[in-house]
Amino acid sequence: MAVTKGIAEIVAKAGNRRTKAEKVKVLRDFSSPALKDFFTYLASPNIQFLIPASRPPFEKKDKSLDLQNEFIRDITRKKLNYFISIDNVPVHNIKQAKREQMFLQMLEAIDPDDAELVLLMINKELPKGISMPVIKEYIPNRAQDW
């Protein structure tokens, strides 16, 4: 059975490369819909998060658990759509308290390193070693309007 790399592992591996071309190659080598969605949510100016920018109190999962696929499932099921607005229109109309509760539950269910990436994403902060030109080259079709 193949070992699945977590989103955080892939982003860290790419971020540790020296050149833009090497970073993009790593991202393409490990490309997945979840990785593309992560960078789209992070970089798109049309997507705003409806979660407070402050760091929420959450209990991180034990790193020894194999949770790499949890982030992938959360992204591909579009759970993040509960926490965003697109062009200032919420995707789901739910109460803010419920939205924040769901967000905490998601953070607590995924790999701790992936949870840290989600926190960067909601604050629109780039991961270490990753620049906008790298993201735009990795997902050029999604980045056309940025």
Pairwise pLDDT comparison (6 vs 8), residue with the higher score? 8
pLDDT tens digits for 118-140?
999 999 999 999 999 999 999 99
Q: Which residue from 13, 97, 14 is spatially nearest to 50, judged by alpha carbons?
A: 97
The label of the residue with tokens 């919420």 reads 90
Which of 22-26, 29-33, 93-97, 120-124 is predicted most confidently?
Answer: 22-26
Contacting residues for 5 by C-beta, under 8 A, at least 6 apart: 13, 30, 68
Residue 33 to residue 140: CA distance in whole angstroms: 14
From residue 7, give the alpha-carbon distance in Å to each of 38, 90, 95. 8, 26, 29
Q: Structural domain boundaries of the chain? A: 7-138
pTM score, whole prediction: 0.86
Note the pLDDT of residue 81: 86
Note the pLDDT of residue 65: 60
From residue 129, give the alpha-carbon distance in Å to each of 23, 79, 96. 9, 27, 33
Are β-strands 47-49 and 84-86 bridged in parallel, bridged antiparallel, or unpaired?
A: antiparallel
pLDDT tens digits for 69-100?
555 555 555 678 889 999 989 988 999 999 99
Note the pLDDT of residue 74: 54
In the predicted model, is pLDDT for residue 104 greater than 80?
Answer: yes
For 98-106, what is the mean pLDDT? 91
